[in-house]
């Protein structure tokens, strides 16, 4: 019986390792230190989370399709959008959220600073 349990645990651990680390649920996004973006209204669909410091490209289908977000970061972070002539930023303050974000088709990445972009 113990051998079967150990095998089952090993199999579950291997399967968990294959799952994308950027896929989160709405409940997981409530943790401190992250701003999470979803591909659908109301924090549903595919998700990607950013935690400072530095810059990270949006992943998991959220790039240019971040329809909703919630921030539990205790500092401002900046959504970055690259344009044909430069880049734009949108400040995301601590506690900010949107169920239907007007910047949904602009998000390329997130940074802990505006990266020299123009406010957009």
The pTM (predicted TM-score) of the whole model is 0.75
Q: Give the DSSP letter of residue 119.
A: E
2 three-state secondary structure: helix
pLDDT digits (tens, 9 = 90+) for 41-63: 999 999 999 999 999 999 999 99
Which percentage of the chain shows pLDDT scores above 90? 72
């Amino acid at each position: 019986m113990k051998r079967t349990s150990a095998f089952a645990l090993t199999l579950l651990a291997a399967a968990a390792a294959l799952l994308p680390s950027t896929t989160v649920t709405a409940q997981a996004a409530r943790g401190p230190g992250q701003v999470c973006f979803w591909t659908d209204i109301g924090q549903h669909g595919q998700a990607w989370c950013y935690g400072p410091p530095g810059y990270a490209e949006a992943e998991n289908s959220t790039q240019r399709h971040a329809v909703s977000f919630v921030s539990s970061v205790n500092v401002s972070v900046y959504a970055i959008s690259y344009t044909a002539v430069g880049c734009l930023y949108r400040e995301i303050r601590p506690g900010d959220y949107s169920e239907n974000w007007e910047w949904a088709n602009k998000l390329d990445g997130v940074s802990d600073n505006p990266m020299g972009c123009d406010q957009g």
